[in-house]
Copies of this chain bind each other. A is one copy, B any other.
Amino acid sequence: MPGLFFDDITIGQAFEAGPHRVDRDEILDFANRFDPNPFHLDDEAAQEAGLPGIIASGFHTLSLSFRLFFELHIWDDAIIPSPGLNNIRWLKPLFPGDELRIRATILSKTPSQSRPDRGAVVALHESFVAGGEDPILTVEAIHRLRTRASKRD
């Protein structure tokens, strides 16, 4: 489903991606670079925090979830840098070996008041791991997209 523009988006439309197997080295590498809290790096520290072992940084779970979404390439010719995200909730940990999947569901679309060549789409992004029905992460993303007309020149 490539080449979507603002015009093509409908409320309730959903996009799914994954699975991506998250390995331990990947978790350690991200945590070392961006989130060196002990429960992301050391099993013993994680166990002291009441966890079975290390968990991925929430910023890693978030970034990886959006990578799976962007790899769908649904609106590559329409996307403009996003103004923001709302209500990020890390509901359950992401562990080494987990198989990550995502679903993005369109909640609303609003044409720009000032720029007729674009609009904003809000999508609920949910991340899941194999074997779990409830999301481990939910977040609402504001996606800014061009209209088809904006490409005609």
Contact = CB atoms under 8 A, between A and B. Distances in A.
Contact of A86 (B59, B66, B82, B87): B87
Given A37-B79, A63-B63, A70-B37, A88 B93 contact: no
Contact of A67 (B34, B64, B66): B34
Interface size class of A (residues with CB under 8 A): 20 to 34
A81 B150 CA distance: 44
B83 A90 contact: yes
Given A35-B63, A66-B35, A88 B84 contact: yes
A91 to B, nearest CB: 8
The 3 closest A-B pairs by CB, nearest first: A34-B63, A85-B88, A84-B89
Interface of A: 33-39, 49, 55, 57-59, 62-64, 66-67, 70-71, 76, 79-90, 93
